[in-house]
Amino acid sequence: MMTIYDLKPEINIKGVSNGFSGFVAIAEQLSNAIRAQNKEDIVLAIECYPGVNYTEIKKDLFPLLSPNMTIFTDDYAYTVEEVQEKIKDVITEDRVFGVLSQYTIDQFFHENSIEKAKKEIKDSSGLTIVYGMGTTVISVPDIIVYADLPRWEIRCRYRDENLKNWKTDNADEDELRKYKRGYFFEWGMADRLKKKIYNQVDYLLDTNKKEQPAMIDGKSYRKALSQVAQVPFRLVPFFDASVWGGQWMKEKFNLDPEVENYGWAFDGVPEENSIILNFKGTKIEIPAINAVFAYPDELLGSKVRWRFGTSFPIRFDYLDTMGGRNLSLQVHPLVEYAQDTFGIHYTQDESYYILEATDNSTIYLGVKNNTDKDELVADLRKATSGDFEFPDEKYINVFPVKKHDHYSIPAGTIHCGGPDTIVLEISATPNNFTFKLWDWGRTGLDGIPRPVHIDHGEPNILVERDTDFVLEQLVSSADSKFENLSNQEGIQTEKTGLHELEFIETHRHWFSESVVIKTHESVNMLNLVEGTSVLVESLNGEFDALPINYGETFIVPESVKKYRITNAGDTNKKTAVIQAFVRNL
């Protein structure tokens, strides 16, 4: 039976302008802003996040503004060859992994090119439009429009529209390499500029939907992000197929029945997901991480911000193998390896919360007692030849799982999700650092063999994470006896994880009518894991109630402090939410 699941959640913004929809309305507003400058020569900058469709903006917007000159920043930036030479140490030859760069956009313009652009603008009369990445490097704009785009949309354009990376000719390159270049180079650089000019932006332009742009003025945009940081909200989820993907989400969440499977669902990753801001009917879709950039203390909490900066540290996602197959056998990097090798600040600690299971559901977790690491790695390497099947039953523990079990997976622990399971993955945010050790000989959906990373994996495999360790420290069984952490009548609050080496703590709250929850001085991410629907409510009326359906993930900013979750379904049945927050060490 289909579950109610909101695929396009919105955040209603109060006390702001209406916004502008369509190129004609947008051009009219920009024309009014140009006239309001009350001078003859105007520079309009359209600063673009990587992946924005320049062709559409030029074709549909520029003619309505009638500029005397247009300047494309790419024409003044380093050449393709110069950019590649400069960043080759961070992009690397690896198909998947690079090194997180610290570049800023101004480092990719020669000084004489900047002076040339500024002179051309100065010598021009009337309206000059400067567009692309780095508009404020080569001009001093009178009006700044920021054209933004969430990372998931960029990834879809890599795949579906042969989108090139910035300053490349790689339209036909495979999606993994394009994503690597974005993740390790472009996006961080663009985010640094985004944060730098945040208070200068006069308009925010949403070009997510082809030929359907929307725009809001900068003041209303900044007011909206201030509101986001003070109310519970949901991200816009996205779903994708996988070689091991299942059928459960397709049926339960009313997804496209023509898609072969859905293996992934990301509904709690602000770096990748978007949020939809509703400005009195005008809907603006932006990267969710923008709210973290703008109000990190209010959203994350000051203690979390001081540990993680403007990185959102918790992520929730789904792994669906119901009717599918095993995930890859994998391990995540130890923190020092992640820092030294990839330049990331913290590593991909994980956990698997079992949302749905059958009698066939399993998890591979840790190695068997007395496993010899050299023998294990030798067999993994032998299996990559294609003439040998890795004997997983010889080395790796396999445990049956059931609904509401919770398994901690600190970095260094070999693991793999089995078939016929819906996993709610509750983890640290870095999600690009999975070292596949064995992938059952499969190719990807693109027909290319899926990459295996034994060279990276070997130094990170901890064979002391064996059967005894797993059973003693990593398993939280649904039928265990839990201490009740709650003093509220009729409430059972249970600590289900994560392992003490991981910075995330999770509490599961069981209730029939309602429960009051504290944020624990941290941003909270939650999911309704039992029951049909709830309302997330303010204790003092400071925000409107947020409806949540079974399986939906939502965020509660630290600034809320306390909130109530009320059962909106059958109060004769127990309801449960899983709450994750950063443990205050």
Same domain, 508 and 460: no
Extended strands (E) in 404-454: 406-409, 415-417, 421-428, 435-438
Q: What is residue 296's predicted lDDT score, i.e. its pLDDT?
A: 98
Q: Is residue 562 part of a domain?
A: yes
Q: Domain count for the chain, please give it.
A: 3
**Residues whose CB falls within 8 Å of the CB of residue 575, separated by 6 or more in sequence, listed in order:** 510, 511, 512, 528, 530, 531, 534, 567, 569
Q: Is residue 486 part of a domain?
A: no
Same domain, 421 and 386: yes
**pLDDT tens, residue by residue, 447-464:** 656 679 999 999 999 999
| Average confidence (pLDDT) over 547-551 | 97
Please give the C-alpha separations between residue 176 and each of 52, 274, 328, 345, in angstroms, as whole numbers.
Answer: 19, 21, 17, 22
User: Confidence band (pLDDT; 50, 70, 90) for 285?
Assistant: very high
Single out the residue in 422, 450, 476 at which a domain terminates: 476
User: Confidence band (pLDDT; 50, 70, 90) for 446?
Assistant: low
Single out the residue in 182, 212, 242 at which a domain terminates: 212
Whether 444 shows a pLDDT value over 70: the answer reads: no
Q: What is residue 585's predicted lDDT score, i.e. its pLDDT?
A: 66
Least confident of 1-5, 249-253, 333-337, 573-577: 1-5
Extended strands (E) in 418-532: 421-428, 435-438, 475-476, 492-497, 504-511, 514-518, 524-530
Q: Is residue 261 part of a domain?
A: no
Q: Considering all CA atoms of the chain, what is the largest pairwise distance in Å, rounded to the nearest integer?
A: 79
Q: Is residue 447 part of a domain?
A: yes
Whether 518 shows a pLDDT value over 90: the answer reads: yes
Residue 501's domain comprises 492-582
Pick from 571, 528, 573, 560: nearest CA to 547: 528
Q: Is residue 254 part of a domain?
A: no
| Average confidence (pLDDT) over 54-63 | 97
Same domain, 466 and 496: no
Same domain, 463 and 350: yes
Q: What is residue 421's predicted lDDT score, i.e. its pLDDT?
A: 97
Q: Are 16 and 279 in contact (CB under 8 A)?
A: yes
Q: What is residue 545's predicted lDDT score, i.e. its pLDDT?
A: 98
**Alpha carbon distance 322, 316 (integer Å):** 18
Q: Are 362 and 398 in contact (CB under 8 A)?
A: yes
Same domain, 428 and 503: no
User: Confidence band (pLDDT; 50, 70, 90) for 2?
Assistant: low
Q: What is residue 447's predicted lDDT score, i.e. its pLDDT?
A: 63
| Average confidence (pLDDT) over 186-197 | 98
Same domain, 413 and 546: no
Same domain, 435 and 528: no
**Alpha carbon distance 442, 364 (integer Å):** 18
| Average confidence (pLDDT) over 81-87 | 97
Least confident of 1-10, 192-201, 459-468: 1-10
| Average confidence (pLDDT) over 479-497 | 96
Same domain, 368 and 499: no
- Pair of tokens at residue 282: 């005008």
| Average confidence (pLDDT) over 160-179 | 94
Residue-wise burial string across 29-68, b where 16 or more C-beta atoms lie within 10 A, e elsewhere: bbeebbeeeeeeebbbbbbbbbbbbeeebeebbbeebebe
Which parts of 317-359 fold into alpha helices (H)? 335-342
Q: What is residue 136's predicted lDDT score, i.e. its pLDDT?
A: 98
- Residue appearing with tokens 């725009």: 215
Sign of CA dihedral 256, 259, 263, 264: negative
Whether 68 shows a pLDDT value over 70: the answer reads: yes
- Residue 61's CATH number: 3.40.50.300
Q: Is residue 1 part of a domain?
A: no
Q: What is residue 451's predicted lDDT score, i.e. its pLDDT?
A: 76
**pLDDT tens, residue by residue, 351-399:** 999 999 999 999 999 999 999 999 999 999 999 877 788 999 999 999 9
Q: Is residue 95 part of a domain?
A: yes
Same domain, 457 and 506: no
Q: What is residue 56's predicted lDDT score, i.e. its pLDDT?
A: 97
Q: What is residue 385's predicted lDDT score, i.e. its pLDDT?
A: 79
**Alpha carbon distance 281, 115 (integer Å):** 43
**Alpha carbon distance 353, 527 (integer Å):** 11
Q: Are 109 and 137 in contact (CB under 8 A)?
A: yes
- Residue 559's CATH number: 2.60.120.10
| Average confidence (pLDDT) over 91-107 | 96
Whether 170 shows a pLDDT value over 70: the answer reads: yes
Q: What is residue 484's predicted lDDT score, i.e. its pLDDT?
A: 97
Whether 1 shows a pLDDT value over 60: the answer reads: no
- The mean pLDDT value of the chain amounts to 96
Q: Is residue 220 part of a domain?
A: no
Which parts of 161-268 fold into alpha helices (H)? 175-181, 187-196, 218-228, 248-252
Same domain, 462 and 558: no
Same domain, 464 and 526: no
Please give the C-alpha separations between residue 31 and each of 45, 48, 153, 421, in angstroms, as whole numbers.
Answer: 13, 20, 29, 55
Single out the residue in 190, 212, 234 at which a domain terminates: 212
**pLDDT tens, residue by residue, 255-268:** 999 999 999 999 99
- Pair of tokens at residue 468: 């005894």
- Pair of tokens at residue 466: 């064996």
Same domain, 61 and 201: yes
- Report the phi/psi class of residue 219: left, alpha or beta, with left for phi > 0 and alpha for psi in -120 to 50: alpha
Whether 221 shows a pLDDT value over 60: the answer reads: yes
**Alpha carbon distance 13, 404 (integer Å):** 36
